[in-house]
């Protein structure tokens, strides 16, 4: 199992307003952009900072959602995207509608940085990175001026250079500034638990059955309490999420696949990989590593996936 790459600082860019981001995160899921979009954003931003002469290495990214508004219409328990009609074809006929889900977001981004010269007081660097970010798109969405007070939009750097106790202390102060909001983390452990539970009643149950079971609210009639009960008690706010890509073919030589975006880069056909995520309030996190997502590539196995090192901790009960 891979671990989050080393970093010595966190760069937090709070309260970004994103308009019309892509809400269709995969062929099977919607409601929030895929975490792969944020990793792609991180790499693109790293290239921009290097071009600007900044010595910054971006190793991981975390996302905290404060508000969201998916552009959908509710009708008899069925949600449909609010679609726009495309321009007419060159022959004057009406073009087909391309299914595109959109969502408005207010988010904060947390970047894990490694740099020998970076210090916590480098406010000018934090501001410069934010300015570079504002010229980019996030999951296809446009960054617009935020309605949040100016003081809450100022980016800042958090040192993570001490021992684990010191890192926890620094992160504890930083995470409170991300409230109210929810951070997306991976909960593959819930998927394994649900799969094991399904196997007890159905030996042929697959991981896909477990994923589908966790993706919905399952109701069952309780004979003892004479009422219907659901299986979400104690699970938290869990959601199905894509976590990367799995290879369908061998790696193809550059320029051998027609209509590929880049004719100078090796090409491989892939499909989405899925897991279970959970939206967690940042104050529930102990270390920055629990918040951060990073890339894990196993080309020999055909796995190109995003990983997160969140580990659930037991909460005290006062019952």
The torsion angle over the Cα atoms of residues 292, 298, 301 and 304, rounded to 10 degrees, is 50
Domain extents in the chain:
9-73+97-186, 188-275+296-308
pTM summary value: 0.89
* Mean pLDDT to the nearest integer, 119-141: 91
Sign of the C-alpha dihedral computed for residues 159, 145, 72 and 36 taken in this order:
negative
Tell me how far apart the alpha carbons of residues 180 and 283 are, in angstroms, rounded to a whole number. Answer: 9
* Tokens (6 digits) for 205: 């149950």
Provide the 3-class DSSP secondary structure of residue 160. Answer: coil
Question: What backbone torsions phi and psi does residue 312 show, to the nearest 5 degrees?
Answer: -65, 140
Tell me how far apart the alpha carbons of residues 64 and 106 are, in angstroms, rounded to a whole number. Answer: 9
pLDDT number for residue 318:
37
Question: pLDDT tens digit string along 252-306?
Answer: 999 899 888 888 999 999 999 999 999 999 999 999 999 999 999 998 899 999 9
pLDDT number for residue 86:
65
pLDDT number for residue 271:
94
Helix axes 207-214, 188-201, angle to 10 degrees: 110
Question: pLDDT tens digit string along 196-252?
Answer: 999 998 899 999 999 998 888 877 777 777 778 777 777 888 999 999 999 999 999
Q: How big, in percent rounded to 5, are the helix, strand and coil portions of the chain?
A: 25, 35, 45
* Mean pLDDT to the nearest integer, 34-46: 96
């Amino acid at each position: 199992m891979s671990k989050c790459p080393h970093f010595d600082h966190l760069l937090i860019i709070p309260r970004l307003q994103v308009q019309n981001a892509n809400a269709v995160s995969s062929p099977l899921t919607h409601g929030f952009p895929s975490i792969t979009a944020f990793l792609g954003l991180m790499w693109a931003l790293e290239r921009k900072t290097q071009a600007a002469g900044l010595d910054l290495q971006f190793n991981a990214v975390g996302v905290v959602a404060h508000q969201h508004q998916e552009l959908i219409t509710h009708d008899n328990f069925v949600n449909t995207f609010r679609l726009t009609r495309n321009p007419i074809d060159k022959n004057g006929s009406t073009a087909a509608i391309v299914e595109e889900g959109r969502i408005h977001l207010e988010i904060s981004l947390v970047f894990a940085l490694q740099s020998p010269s970076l210090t916590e007081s480098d406010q000018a660097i934090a501001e410069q990175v934010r300015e570079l970010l504002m010229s980019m798109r996030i999951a296809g969405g446009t960054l617009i001026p935020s309605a949040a007070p100016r003081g809450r939009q100022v980016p800042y750097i958090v040192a993570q250079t001490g021992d684990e106790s010191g890192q926890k202390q620094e992160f504890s102060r930083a995470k409170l500034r991300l409230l109210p909001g929810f951070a997306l983390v991976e909960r593959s452990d819930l998927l394994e638990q649900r799969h094991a539970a399904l196997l007890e009643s159905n030996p042929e149950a697959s991981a896909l059955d477990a994923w589908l079971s966790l993706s919905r609210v399952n109701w069952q009639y309780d004979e003892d309490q004479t009422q219907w009960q659901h299986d979400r008690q104690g699970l938290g706010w869990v959601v199905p999420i894509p976590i990367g890509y799995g290879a369908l073919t061998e790696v193809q030589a550059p320029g051998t696949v027609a209509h590929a975006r880049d004719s100078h880069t090796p090409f491989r056909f892939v499909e989405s990989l899925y897991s279970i995520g959970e939206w967690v309030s940042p104050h529930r996190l102990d270390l920055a590593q629990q918040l951060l997502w990073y890339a894990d590539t196993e080309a020999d196995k055909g796995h190109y996936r995003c990983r997160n090192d969140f580990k659930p901790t037991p909460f005290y009960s006062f019952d």
